Structure 1
């Protein structure tokens, strides 16, 4: 089994696997998993050398954190970095941001994850106005000084939000939406993050599964799956689902991207390798509901870099064929 290479997460000193594990699905929000399957995914991640796990307090109402906490207690690994997020639970979002409510959220995550100090807490796509107000970062600093967290960052949705965080805050990391169907972050945000030694965590690297290359236009998603209820941005930011593209359009574009795959390289491998070729990227978190998925994703770390000419072609494809079809802010 190929163990993924590791990169530094900005200035934190953490060595994280290039391919990480996103744990939203473990809480059952995408549809209930069979008994024991969440633990099997975590075990597969451990065996594959995927030491960077991303969760949030709202995934499954805390269930994702509880599963991870129990697994981590039963199978400890000093190299494992568990990242959680705060800011979207009902006590905080959209207008309940106070020192005590944020601290209580962090305390609850500590209990579910069964740790004294959280490795990294990221603000979870909170309103841009709260980021600009700045008090949340003061409160996170207090939590860090009190030993509740080691580092803090922000998961954001747009280029504007990411740029603001880099220019006006002391975040250790940014979690960004970047993929072949949403490339704008590569132009200015990634270079600036690299310059400032801010770790970049990529989410939605496969565009909610579009870049698996297996989606069909008639596919039916579970009622509780965001790919069903947020397809048009009805529940939260439209860019979080299918990169902001209409589903059928995304399926067509993914099919067109297959023509750019080198011989022997699948579309998901192309998509993940393209992300890893970005020097500012620390880790790409990939969701997996089956053990074999995380093993397949981790193997991309061993692939050779894509040719520079192919990178140029993929950028041109995005600018000409994709960008104008994305809905919502970019």
Structure 2
């Protein structure tokens, strides 16, 4: 028997293992696959600040842009406009504030700004522009005031996810009239609390959509279970994760939002490493300890010390002097 003290290397003639495997170079990926549901980011409810009756309900699935009707209350259209500040009052001549600035910007962009100086003041020019805008909506007797509830400010165009109030329903500030979301498609899925490491923003995800198409993405964060509208409630033992998809902006048109998607979370990956079956690694005895492989060359075996790394799918990363791709290693049978 030949060997080197302290290296864990020894050569033995004629003691072959019951089976062998080949050292290969490949990618290792640690992952977990769960079900998910297609949805849209930034879901939020739209409520009416004043009481009334729905005389034209929202259209589910429709994309609404600035100047377009979300729904009608008491035969008066409720219009989407862009801006971060919510509508919180009736706006009229003499008022000042960021909501007035938003209103004027929208009126200008919609083509009613000939008389406008866009600032935070609701002046005579604003009143003229509002009357023109009201007339275009078919409002009888335009008064130049924007009543509380006539406009809904949102950051950008929205998709109507659901019409929460039907035709002829009475509405008020306590119940949503409709639910909207951004046009950005996302997938939401649930993970166990024990998989919390996978919920970190930026975790890479591979999604197989209901149609079979594949899309790459990453975890953008976690959401409250009752905010997803897509995944079944899983109680306190689960975490609802939102996944942003890469380059799939028109996804909703061709995918079934009610069908399950397959979501593969990639927690760690190693590219182009040498791997063997986990069972090929043996514990080395002696004061140096560590791990080794039994290399098989013809009728000769040689035990060599190796460093082990990541494991995935029954394989383990190995490195060390004396091993290379294509070598045979001993493995147990059964």
Q: TM-score band (shorter)?
A: under 0.3
More helix by share: 1
Choose 1 or 2 for highest CA Rg: 2
More strand by share: 2
Report the TM-score when normalising by structure 1: 0.25
Higher relative contact order, chain-length normalized (CA < 8 Å, sep 6+):
2
Report the TM-score when normalising by structure 2: 0.25
